[in-house]
Amino acid sequence: MSSSSDAALESIVQRGLEAYRAGRFFEAHELWETGWRDEADPVRKTFLQGLILVAAALHKLTRMRSPSGAVRLLAKARARLAGMPEGMGGLAMGLLVDDITRAAAAIEQLARGERTELDASLLPRMESAGDVAPTSPSGARQRP
């Protein structure tokens, strides 16, 4: 990927991140989808599709009250994002993929109790690659 391609992708990611971090998941989905439609590179297109699916899953959970739908969408997102290189789109991909797995498990627990309110600390974090704390000696990432 060239540096101009990297910059363009990071710009697309940043447009949706503000909405995502503010809990405006549908808006984040729409912003990333605009970039996805215009993207020609299949790897970057798959990456953006993964972000779109994370946002769609959280919208499905928080607005549509469908934990099972959210879990299905998170599984699809994880499948698309799991192989992405660290720093793709400027994001800490290992952290994001780990958080998607953790969020899906937490949402499954909520569904068993017929609840849909997920603690904000369990939402998948989309952090800049350089902003993530190093892993602990056990290999687990430290939460900032």
pLDDT digits (tens, 9 = 90+) for 12-30: 999 999 999 999 999 999 9
SS3 label, residue 135: strand
- Cα(62)–Cα(27) distance, rounded to whole angstroms? 13
SS3 91: strand
Residue type, 14: Q
What pTM, to 2 d.p., does this model score? 0.86
Instruction: Please say if the pLDDT value at position 118 is more than 50.
Output: yes
Q: What pLDDT does 110 receive?
A: 82
Kindly report, residue by residue over 40-74, the tens digit of the pLDDT.
999 999 999 999 999 999 999 989 989 999 999 99
